[in-house]
Chain A
Amino acid sequence: MDSALIIEKSVVIVAVFVFTMIMAMYSTWAERKVAAYLQDRIGPNRAGWGGLLQPLADGLKLFAKEEFEPNTPNRILFFTGPAIAMSTALITSAVIPWGDKLELFGRTVILQATDIDVSILYVFGIVSIGVYGIMIGGWASNNKFSLMGAVRAASQMVSYEVAMGLSIIALLMMTGTLSLKEIAQQQSGLHWNVFYQPLSFLIFLICAFAETNRTPFDLAECESELIGGYHTEYSSMKMGFYLFAEYANMFISATIISVLFFGGYNYPGMSWVIEHWGNNAGNLLGMLALFVKLCFFIFFFMWVRWTIPRFRYDQLMHLGWKILIPLGIINIVITGIVLLRSEIFAFLGF
């Protein structure tokens, strides 16, 4: 392998890593700001202009906090929990196509850390491992509330993964590929999947809310019953890792929604721009388009959080198992019929 490729990939990986971290950091700021604005308040505005240094101040505070450990026999697991949560949240971004390709220094740089042809399966796999971070953390805390919170979070994530998978199958029947890059490419010129698979998008969106443990599905945390949920016993940067992982997950969910259903880096008139202004300008604009889309979805996550009250736990399970999963299956059947309509018509003798 030539060293230029290694350098190129390293740069892309570091850039994606830094970007994910910064987005997660500023999601915490945006969350507080959006919450404040939706409630007719102003929100943090003391640290830096418009409170832009607030995430740094928060991080600094978390680092400076006392590192408290409960009296637990599972000390190693207690440390492993947040580490798993954080790393799973970060490595999903490896397969996301941030753009098509750039031409720099006579090389074609693919704007993706790695283009494996089972990207979606990879994402789903990593997201499933994310449950372990929560579950191990809750278990190792040696605390009933933490364990209950972890059990809630884990069962909710496992349940909604099924519906999420089913909603994606209908999409995959259309695209015929598991690679996120190809799915993004297929949607060029406003052939966005959301127009062809609205039901699939709706199910996926709801499941994304449940997977990231956000309102209206934030049952893992509950002041009156479970205190802080699975991170009750965590303090200092270990808790910071859990919270950070949540925001990183939200960022990844928003990106995956944009790539799967909203055309990824495609924007109307992309081919015209590439033809007239060159490949690099077109693709940089594409990256910007993806950024705008994912920012909208992060905003949407927050917007919904401050609009809809949370579910009761049985309602949550009812929605997941009795509504979303049957809907997902119906969607698969309808998609199948539409895809094979000519064969079916031929079979019926039209």
Chain B
Amino acid sequence: MSSLQTISLSGSKKEVSKKEMTFLEKLYLIAIIKGLWITIKHFFKKKATIQYPDQVRPFSPVYRGRHMLKRDSQGRENCTACGLCALSCPAEAITMKAAERKPGEEHLYREEKYAEIYEINMLRCIFCGLCEEACPKDAIYLTISKELVPAQYHREDFIFGKDKLVMPLEMAIRNTQQNSVN
């Protein structure tokens, strides 16, 4: 039966001793050589750095990065500027202005109403993904781009308009081709 002072519930209790150092220990030379051995081992180890713009860290499939406004299989923008994403946004990062589709623009926009201006302030955005959940038209996604928002020099540059948000046409074409093959 061990006493209360010596009992170890975690099993990792260690007795600390503060004994006098021997002469060899007092010289510290052996300790220094051990330390040098440890650091030189790190010299030849694989480096942990990921050189970001050149190398990209593999993201998990559900990683929420930069937003993307999707196009459908015919390359038309999905967004109808209903404003549900802006409404659901807890950080109030999204603004938009709706416009009516003119005749002859059917190949650009899927429905009669589209977003003329669509802006997300990336400094406000908390990447929660609620806009993605709220969207009834499958238009906005955070998981597709697999990109981080890059650093900028001015605050204004963090307000991303449609030029940066809408899915590039080549990507839409590639997606359509892949889907038709499958």
Contacts and interface: CB of A to CB of B under 8 A. Distances in A.
B36 A38 contact: no
Contacts of A7: none
A307 B32 contact: yes
A303 B45 contact: no
Given A38-B42, A38-B43, A39-B42, A303 B49 contact: no
Nearest to B48: A40
A158 B48 CA distance: 42
Interface string A300-318: 0001101110000000000
B47 A41 contact: yes
B39 A303 contact: yes
Q: Name the prevailing secondary structure of the A interface residues.
A: loop
B180 interface: no
Contacts, number: 34
Interface residues of A, number: 13
A42 B32 contact: no
B22 interface: no
A24 to B, nearest CB: 23
B39 A38 contact: yes
Interface in B36-89: 36, 38-40, 42-43, 45-49, 51
A37 interface: yes
A38 B40 CA distance: 7
What class of interface size applies to chain B in its complex with A? 10 to 19
A304 B49 CA distance: 23
B45 A40 contact: yes
Interface string B109-136: 0000000000000000000000000000
A41 B40 CA distance: 13
A307 B36 CA distance: 6
Nearest to B41: A38
A311 to B, nearest CB: 11
Contact of A42 (B39, B40, B42, B47): B47
Contacts of A307: 32, 35-36, 38-39
A308 B35 contact: yes
A41 B51 CA distance: 10
> Which residue of B32, B46, B47, B51 has the most chain A CB atoms within 10 A of its CB atom?
B47
B26 to A, nearest CB: 10
Nearest to A300: B36
Contacts of A304: 36
A45 B51 CA distance: 10
A307 B39 CA distance: 6
A37 B47 CA distance: 7
A42 B49 contact: yes
A92 to B, nearest CB: 27
Nearest to A42: B49
A326 to B, nearest CB: 14
A319 to B, nearest CB: 10
Contacts of B38: 307
Contacts of A42: 47, 49, 51
Given A307-B32, A308-B32, A40 B39 contact: no
Interface in A289-331: 303-304, 306-308
Interface of A: 34, 37-42, 45, 303-304, 306-308
Closest 4 CB pairs of A and B: A307-B39, A42-B49, A307-B35, A40-B48
17 contacts: A37-B42, A38-B39, A40-B42, A40-B45, A40-B46, A40-B47, A40-B49, A41-B49, A42-B47, A42-B49, A42-B51, A303-B36, A303-B39, A303-B40, A307-B35, A307-B36, A308-B35
